[in-house]
Amino acid sequence: MTVIRDVVCPFCGCLCDDLEVTVEGNKIVKTRNTCAISSAKYMHHEENRITAPSVDGREVPLDEAVEAAAEILASARRPLVYGLSSTECGAIAKAVELAELVGGVVDNTASVCHGPTILALQAVGESKCTLGEVKNRADLVIFWGCNPTEAHLRHLIRYSGMPKGLYTPEGRKGRYIVAVDVRETRMKRLADQFLKIEPNGDFELLSALRAAVREVKVQAETVAGVPREQIEALAERMKRVKMGVIFFGLGLTQSDGRHMNIDAAVGLVADLNHHTKFVLTPMRGHYNVAGANTVTAWQTGYPYAVDFSRGYPRYNPGEYTAVDLLARGEADAALIVASDPAAHFPADAARHLARIPVVTLDQKVNMTTMLSKVVIPVATAGVEAEGTAYRMDGVPIRLRKVVEPSDGVLPDAEVLQMIIDRVRALKEGA
Amino acid sequence: MRSLIVKGGYVYDPLNGVDGERMDILISGGKVVEELDEREAKVVDASGMVVMPGGVDLHSHIAGSKINIGRVLRPEDHRKDPVPRTRLTRSGVGYSCPSTFVAGYRYAQLGYTSVMEAAMPPLGARHVHEELNDTPILDRTAFTLFGNNYFTLKYVKAGDMGMLKAFIAWLLRATRGYAVKIVNPGGVENWKWGRNVGGLDDLVYNFEVSPRQIITSLARANEELGLPHTIHLHCNNLGVPGNYETTIDTMEAVRDIKPREGRRATVHIVHCQFNALDGDNWMNVRSGAAKIARYVNAHSHVTLDIGQAIFTDTTTMTGDGPWQFRLHNLTGNKWVNSDVEMEAGAGVVPYTFRKNNPANAIQWAIGLELALLIYDPWRVYMTTDHPNGGPFTFYPKVISWLMSRKARTETMLEIHKACMRRTTLAGIYREYDFGEIATVTRAATAKALGLKDKGHLGPGADGDVSVYDIDPTDWRPSMYRQVEKAFSRAAYTIKGGEIVVKDGEVVAAPPGTTIWADVKIPEDAEEELMRDLEADFRSYYTISLANYPVQDEYLPVQERVAVDGRRGW
């Protein structure tokens, strides 16, 4: 029995790196320091696994599945490569290379979550920090349109709520926590102040706060259901603190206004920097969605929605994003890595996915594997394979391998390299 | 690999005292050799051309979180400059924030074979190395940020040189870094409270140490350890009119530090153009370059690089968070700030240097004044602080300005006349020759970095050679456009004995080597340091000490420079 310490959790963007995993034989028997989700990921990583590569539902040797995948991608006119946020960076790099090779489109799950955050960044920038800055300095923490108590379970404990840091010796007591949401979540009990706002009222409330920070009188009695006095008081508090931070989630990025909401938040934070230190940080979901953006950006210049059909990268969210490409019926083949778009995409997009040949690399059976022509099982990064992942704040951490994958099951990056080699051979043969 | 003979070129190898002599360069096994079997070798015909060691850029931002923020931030920049894939090369984008592959290809096309990434935040070191691994051809190092690190401040405050030295050795190893980089010492820590420092004797909050103490302690530790390069310093007050005084104060502060054996310098001042402003504000700003040059000419302990400004749209990115916020407020351009716990910070702001802007015209002149007024080319190096002053792809343009007064005059006539009245450039007649260009772009930079096998073509040197299609015997400064053209597209770039560029096109893209400094310190000093680190890591970092050091997987091709820091412990 071995206890492996400092294990990095490959589930959410918190990328906690203090896990302890106990292994007996090649089996995980116990975990420590995990949240409920993380524990489930480790303890049940063997369940519901894809047992063998398959083509058209027929089990085949790996080479044959790779050959079939290569043929589909090499002969497609507009192949889509999608997913990538729940695998390690080496695989992401290979996926980008493959998309370039076949002149396809590569997109990652950011396009359906924090894509608007990136659009806002491209318009106005952002002021951000790593999570340790929050732990060590922040005395005002605002959660806007996100609920870490259910989505990022250890965020409050490790980074943003409770921990005692360098200049926050009192921990939770020294921090004022504000939660802004359209419904009363568990954050209400935890926060010092809860602002229940009207759905789709984020832009207005952020703008009113910004006005108050700039000492412009807000005329309306209430904005998005929040009384003027409360807005002014919060603005005053924001200016007075030593360091403030806004964490925001899909409540901000996927409600009306989308990237305009983030624009407003960035503007508010920029203004606050004339008074004190203020930053904002998106609560990234998948453990390596930040890595998917990072790798794609250094290889192509663009973080997602990249089209290689002209031989060089072009970027246009809304056109080269997976949902749009599928819903328009444009993609004629797809490679899905570490994602389940069939279960999560809008019906039009999912329906088209079912009509075209799909190659899927995944560990487990899901809706996408069920409609795929080629399915190749892979090792789970962070459990059965190493690699880099980028935390929600951009800190790169090396994932650890705690158990060996089953015989013949390879990591994503190796399978993608095999497909690249076959595609290259096919293209050069032709 | 076949051996190579670079035949019949005019060789400029300043470190070996070769100045334009016609001679052959022989390369075998990736190294320059004295003799080889000519029948076996491939011949590169360089007759009538200039032959130099491969270029060595000692200050550039090509890999890591800052440049990648720049890439994400600026799709509009990429649109100007898409790069298609070829059978051999990857696609990407160019201009001010090139993708990693394109940065590698384009440096090689200019005849550069080694590039130093000038600012690596320790927590983001893995990111830097991942990007460097996707940067083909170039050999490289990365400079680890120390100037605002919690442990640096803690040990400087305690006056504990032993712990400071042990920490430098440990962090360079943990990040696979090569040199001690300092950015706005103290100012970046204060920026984490939304403040800055205004000069060498301001204090850092909570630590009560001054930038002067930080700089001198790190410089002393650097020299006592005997690191290959001096401290690499981005001074306080960057971009503030009147800052030339701070810059000279800074140089003066490290004057009495004893340099390591075999070196006279104790400090390298980076992108000095941004720190050589005279005047009180942006309305009456003028050049302070002449004053800095006077100081540097009289003191041998300083080296600097110019950080030449280019009239173009570019992306500024520094580890100097408060400066980037200031620039955001000056320009109204979009702004990214990125603070790194316990260690560092950074900012990114797009910026356009405009010909009709008086301050920009002055900044353009300052870079050239520094290069021309400092007599010793071994102590002033050509950079644009890519991409801060402008993209590195403008190096040929800078070379033409250095080599030709006519080129400078023509530019001066196009730009705001402030450059005539508020700088001394119009009165400078000096023109660099090819030997001096070879010095400020490869020989002197390699020497300053302590990279013994780079920057020269003597036996044992790395087989890194660039060949430029221009005849130095038949060239006059008025023909500056020819020189610009020749330096834009190397006739040949040879990297480790392999031809990687021919006629300006990439013909091979082998991986480069990452070089880092492996400093040995006494075991008990290391143990004491680790005890201290463990406690603070647990309390204040958000990543465990065990997961912190860069693993060897991130350096598939690496070279350690062993440094014995135990001497004089």
| Complex ipTM value | 0.98
Say yes or no for a CB contact (<8 Å) between A130 and B126.
no
Which two three-digit tokens encode residue A245? 């931070």
Q: Please report the pLDDT score of residue B569 as a whole number.
A: 85
Angle between helical axes of B161-175 and B150-158 (0-180°, round to 10): 160
pLDDT of residue A429: 79
Stretches in chain B below the pLDDT threshold 70: none
Q: CB-based contact (8 Å) between B332 and chain A?
A: no
Using DSSP, state whether B294 is helix, strand or coil.
Answer: helix
A357-376 mean pLDDT: 98
Which residue in A has a C-alpha nearest to residue B74's C-alpha? Answer: A122
Using DSSP bridges, classify how beta strands B50-53 and B465-468 pair: parallel, antiparallel or unpaired: antiparallel
- Residue B401: the pLDDT is 98
Query: Per the CB < 8 Å rule, is B342 touching A125?
Result: no
- Dihedral sign, Cα of residue A72, residue A74, residue A79, residue A83: positive
A97: chain B residues, CB-CB within 8 Å: 90
Of A127, A311, A388, the CB nearest to B130: A388
Q: Does any CB of chain A come closer than 8 Å to the CB of residue B192?
A: yes
Backbone dihedral angles phi then psi of residue B510, each to the nearest 5 degrees:
-70, 160
Would you state the CATH architecture of domain A50-112+287-429? 3-Layer(aba) Sandwich (3.40)
Q: Given B92, B339, B544, which is nearest A299 (Cβ)?
A: B92
The reply to whether residue B150 touches residue A166, judged by beta carbons under 8 angstroms, is yes
Inter-residue contact A241 to A267 (CB < 8 Å): no
The tokens describing B492, both together, are 């040949």
pLDDT over 70 at A430, yes or no: no
Contact A300 B99 (CB under 8 A): yes
In a domain, B177, yes or no: yes
Other Cβ atoms within 10 Å of B128 Cβ, number: 32
Q: B394 to chain A, minimum CA–CA distance in Å? A: 20
Note whether A395 contacts B: Cβ–Cβ < 8 A. yes
Cβ pair B543:A17 closer than 8 A: yes
The residue to which tokens 């006077």 are assigned: B294
Do residues B29 and B96 share a domain?
Answer: no
Contact at CB, A122 and B72, closer than 8 angstroms = yes
Q: Six-digit token pair at A368? A: 């996408």
The number of helices, as runs of H, and strands, as runs of E, in chain A is 18, 22
Read off the pLDDT of residues A259-271 as tens digits, 9 standing for 90 and up. 999 999 999 999 9
Q: Which of residues 531-550 of B touch A (CB under 8 A)?
A: 539-544, 546-547
Count of domains observed in chain B: 2
**In this structure, are B19 and B73 located in the same domain?**
no
Indicate if B384 and B488 belong to the same structural domain.
Answer: no
B423 inside domain: yes
A130 closest CB neighbour out of B71, B131, B340: B340
Q: Does A298 touch chain B (CB under 8 A)?
A: yes
In this structure, the answer to whether residues B128 and B18 fall within a common structural domain is no
**Contacts with B, A 14-43, CB within 8 Å:** 17-18
Residue B537 lies in a domain: no
Is there a contact between A276 and B544 if contact means CB atoms under 8 Å apart? no
Q: What is the pLDDT of residues B337-365, one digit of tens each?
A: 999 999 999 999 999 999 999 999 999 99
CB A397 to CB B65 under 8 A?
A: no
Same structural domain, B42 and B63: no
What angle, rounded to 10 degrees, do the helices at B65-73 and B125-133 form?
70
Q: Would you call A256 an interface residue with chain B, using a CB distance cutoff of 8 Å? A: no
Query: Nearest CA to CA, how far is B467 from chain A (Å)?
Result: 29
Q: Is the dihedral of CA A296, A298, A302, A303 positive or negative?
A: positive
Here the CATH number for the domain that contains residue B331 is: 3.20.20
Nearest Cα of chain B lies from the Cα of A8 at a distance, in angstroms, of: 9
Residue B101 in any domain: the answer is yes
**B window 297-316, beta carbon within 8 A of A:** none
Query: Rounded to whole angstroms, what are the CA distances from A125 to A164, A263, B313?
Result: 30, 8, 17
Nearest to B440 by CA among B381, B528, B523, B527: B381
For residues B401 and B498, membership in a common domain is answered with no
Chain A 404-423, residues with CB within 8 Å of chain B CB atoms: none
Question: From the CA atom positions of chain A, what is the Rg in Å?
Answer: 23
- Chain position carrying tokens 């006279």: B264
Q: Does an H or E element contain A277, and which?
A: strand A277-282
Q: Which of B80, B83, B91 is best to mutate for the A interface (most A CBs within 10 A)?
A: B91
- Enumerate the domain spans of chain A: 50-112+287-429, 115-282
Question: Which residue from A243, A299, A302 is facing B75, i.e. has the nearest CB?
Answer: A302
8 Å CB contact of A100 and B134: no
**Domain co-membership, B502 together with B376:** no
B130 has a chain A CB within 8 A of its CB? yes
In a domain, B550, yes or no: no
pLDDT band at A428 (very low <50, low <70, confident <90, very high): confident
Do residue B408 and residue B484 come from a single domain?
A: no
In this complex, the residue of B71, B334, B339 whose CB is nearest that of residue A298 is B71
**A-chain residues near B65 (CB < 8 A):** 394
Of B97, B541, B546, the CB nearest to A132: B541
Mutation target vs B (from A19, A101, A279, A298; most B CBs, 10 A cutoff):
A298
Say yes or no: B176 and B61 in one domain. Answer: yes
Q: Does residue B90 fall inside a structural domain?
A: yes
- CB-based burial of residue A4 (10 Å sphere; 0-12 exposed, 13-18 middle, 19+ buried)? middle
User: Which residue in the set B78, B131, B193 is minimally distant from A242, CB to CB?
Assistant: B193
Are the Cβ atoms of A130 and B339 closer than 8 angstroms? yes
Class of domain A115-282: alpha beta
Q: How many CB pairs under 8 A join A and B?
A: 188
Of B92, B542, B547, the CB nearest to A313: B92
Distance, in angstroms, between A155 CA and closest chain B CA? 11
Q: Which of A18, A136, A395 sits opposite B544 (nearest CB)?
A: A18
CA-based nearest residue in chain B for residue A395: B124
> Does residue B539 lie within any of the structural domains?
no
Whole domain around residue B500: which residue ranges?
4-52+460-506
**Nearest chain A residue to B71, by CA:** A301
Rg of the Cα trace of chain B? 22
Q: Judge if B346 and B486 occupy the same domain.
A: no
Residues of B in Cβ contact (< 8 Å) with A397: 126, 543, 547
CATH of residue B466's domain is 2.30.40.10
Within-domain flag for B516: no
* B390 and B494 both lie in a single domain: no
CB atoms within 10 A of CB B388: 26
The shortest CB-CB distance from B337 to any of A127, A136, A310 is to A127
Give CA–CA dist A220/A182, Å, rounded.
20
Domain shared by B33 and B95, yes or no: no
